[in-house]
């Protein structure tokens, strides 16, 4: 799902750039995805597309979204 052409196009359209994705060494059911995006965009995309994301097997309640700034 994350690597689908539709998701890639959606991310490009709103300025989301994937920087890193990896699987936890301790728990293969956990992943870390680091994205660069304008403030608030990743959270809005997630909120607006929860049902589609849930449909892919993602456990919505397990998601932690954090924002960081370099200034």
Quote the tokens at residue 40. Answer: 């608030």
Q: pLDDT over 90 for what percent of the chain?
A: 44
Q: Domain coordinates of the chain in residue numbers?
A: 5-58
- Indicate if the alpha-carbon torsion angle 38, 55, 7, 1 is positive or negative: positive
Residue 53's CB is within 10 A of a number of other CB atoms, namely 19
Question: pLDDT tens, 4-32?
Answer: 788 889 899 999 999 999 999 999 989 99
Q: What pTM value is reported for the model?
A: 0.74
Q: What is the pLDDT of residue 16?
A: 93
- 44 falls in which pLDDT band (50, 70, 90)? very high
- Can you tell me the distance from the alpha carbon of 32 to that of 45, in angstroms, rounded to the nearest whole number? 17
């Amino acid at each position: 799902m994350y690597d689908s052409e539709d998701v890639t196009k959606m991310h490009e359209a709103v300025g989301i750039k994937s920087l890193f994705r990896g699987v936890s060494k301790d728990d293969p059911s956990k992943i870390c995805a680091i994205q660069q995006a304008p403030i608030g965009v990743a959270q809005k995309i997630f909120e607006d597309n929860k049902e589609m994301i849930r449909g892919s097997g993602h456990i919505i309640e397990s998601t932690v979204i954090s924002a960081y700034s370099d200034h």
